[in-house]
Amino acid sequence: EVIHCALWGKGGLAVQELQEDGSMSLVPVDPELRPSATPVYSPDGSLLAVPMEQSVVLFSLLSRSKQGEIPVRGVSQLHFSATGRFLVVFRRYVKAADGKQAEPNLFLFALSDVEHAIEVSSWVQRSFDREKTIQWLEDDSFFAKINTNEVQFFATENLQDAQQPRFRLSSKGVASFAISKGRKDIFVSTFTPSIKGQPGFVEIRKFPQIHDSPITRKSFFKCDSATMKWGGKGSTAALLVKTSTDVDKTGKSYYGESGIYYMKADGSLSQNVKLDKEGPVHDAEFVPDNTGEFIIVFGVMPAVAMLFGSNGEPKFSFGTNMRNSIFCAPHGRFVAIAGFGNLRGGIDVWDLDRKKRIGSSESPCSSTFSWAASSRFFLTAVLSPRLRIDNEVKIFSYFGEERASIQADMEAAIGGWSNEKELKRDTDAVRVKGEFYWAAFAPAKEGIFPDRPSSPNRKAKVAEAQGEKAKAGAYVPPHLKGKDVALPSFRLREDDVNIRAGSLRKQSTSQPVRAVVGMGAEDVAKATKNRRKRNRNKKSSTVGEQKDEEEERAEPITVVEEAEAPKNLDPEAQWAKKEKALKKKLRQIVELQEKKKRGEELNDDQLAKIASQKEVETQLESLRL
């Protein structure tokens, strides 16, 4: 099967084709097909909806030809339904003059016949979010649309039914919603932010019994916004809720506070995910294999990436690194943990089945990441307008080996796409006129590409293709190059190569050695040695006196044999002393037995003490005789 990757730049639209053997070719399309906004793939990857100035063009990636056209002007966003049978078209809201009713700007089209799309319904919508405003059930039997203080559900069995809502879920102040995956046991979650001192909350209901009481509810006292993501299917579905506030009242961050919560759809679990490092929650994603496992990147940089089980407990640590984004491959076998945005673009690829890092790469200044439907390739892109120079699209193999680079020629104001060179060898590059605005791999139907494990001989292939690379040295300023000048030993930042991954074990409870701030390791050792010497001198001068409690905690005391005690001690005093010790042991045994009855867990020493009760009673009885 051929893997398609569409690119939109100042030169127009182009398609990169990848063969199974890894060979690639950049194929131009109709030069008149110049998008005015971001194109969108259909769920099966067969169509590409391209917004133009005067219409929306439905373009076939297989035949590279126009299949249909929808006459709507000024479109800014598009959204396909779950099966691709419907297309949502949004254009910017324009306020009507003289207080008249504004014209509809949100449209729903049926694509049963691609060449003749049918308008099903239209609404007036002030804002639109491709992932949140309208959501679909997996079989397209219903879609939901958020409105003021309610979520409306529309049936699509009959196109006439799609004009009026079948159900309404009313909730004052509701800001967003999310629908779980699957065709049975479908759940709907809604989020209401904090308003006028009242806590925000998330509720989960079963569909279509949305008017019943919520199955579970979670309140948040600090929550201005939230992102909800469903994982799993049916009765095993679970929800991740990432909350955030606009202001951090503790003053630790300029960007507010964030938290992460895990909720099961059946109501059996609703808890705050415990994170062992302070700082923001950068990203959270479910693994797309329906096991309920999820990954979170959290904490101040270098951040921690961790895998959690379906019970919400940590399962595996990917270590600490300069990373803030999670990208799971379609089959759920591989995951890329990357550092984009204001980070350097480092990418680590992990095999989740083997819990092993299989490759790393770097793509500086990138803002876009996309997995191929086969899970064998991924791309990164430096796009405009975020960065208007050095625009570039890189294609990597799944283990981080760079296979192709498509660069934008910034010297030319505008031009056509280049088709002079096929990309067959690793790291081949072709230059394209203009800037890049969007790039992504096309999805594919489930089952088209099999789930394949990582290749056993891929390390040899990487070594053969790339050869031995020299280790990068320290940065040398231009004015010091070629001069015998010692470079400073300090660094202005921490290296991002600090990965210590592995399965989680119970951490030691021992307390760290306390030392003066700024004291080196040698100074600490010297101070400890001097303290022990002072303690020994003090002990030798105060034999027979009560030992200082702090000295006992500082180091074990060496027992000094003293003169033998006189043998003519009072026998009655010795008897009383032994009786007191045995009675004390009996009291301790009774206390342990009461703890055991209450269900408290006892250690082996405590259980052995309980078992010695008869022996202690016998000794006490013989002593009294």
Q: Is the pLDDT of residue 512 over 70?
A: no
Structure confidence at residue 79 (pLDDT): 94
Q: Is the pLDDT of residue 335 over 90?
A: yes
Q: Give 305 or 498, the one with higher predicted confidence.
A: 305
Structure confidence at residue 469 (pLDDT): 45
* DSSP string for residues in 542-595: TTTSPPPHHHHHHSPPPP---PPPPS---HHHHHHHHHHHHHHHHHHHHHHHHH
Q: Which residues, at least 6 apart from 239, have a Cβ–Cβ distance to it below 8 Å? A: 178, 180, 187, 189, 202, 204, 228, 229, 230, 231, 262, 263, 264, 265
Q: If pLDDT is split at 50, 70 and 90, which confidence band does 425 have?
A: very low
Q: What percent of the chain has pLDDT over 70?
A: 77
Cα angle value 361/366/370 (rounded, 5°): 75
Q: Is the pLDDT of residue 154 over 70?
A: yes
Q: Give 303 or 63, the one with higher predicted confidence.
A: 303
Structure confidence at residue 174 (pLDDT): 92
Structure confidence at residue 601 (pLDDT): 80
Is pTM beyond 0.95 here? no
Q: Give 508 or 346, the one with higher predicted confidence.
A: 346
Give the tens place of pLDDT for each residue, 547-569. 443 333 333 333 333 334 444 45
Structure confidence at residue 428 (pLDDT): 43
Structure confidence at residue 479 (pLDDT): 63
Structure confidence at residue 510 (pLDDT): 43
H or E stretch including 261?
strand 258-264
Q: If pLDDT is split at 50, 70 and 90, which confidence band does 107 have?
A: very high
Instruction: At 11, list the tokens.
Output: 């030169």
Q: What percent of the chain has pLDDT over 90?
A: 33
Structure confidence at residue 470 (pLDDT): 44
d(CA 306, CA 274): 11
Identity (one letter) of the amino acid at 218?
A: K
Structure confidence at residue 160 (pLDDT): 81
* Domain layout of the chain by residue ranges: 582-624
Structure confidence at residue 324 (pLDDT): 92
Structure confidence at residue 299 (pLDDT): 92
Q: Is the pLDDT of residue 237 over 70?
A: yes
Average pLDDT over residues 200-211: 90
Q: If pLDDT is split at 50, 70 and 90, which confidence band does 625 have?
A: low
Strand intervals (E) in 526-588: none
Structure confidence at residue 446 (pLDDT): 86
Query: Which backbone phi and psi does 609 adopt, to 5 degrees?
Result: -65, -40
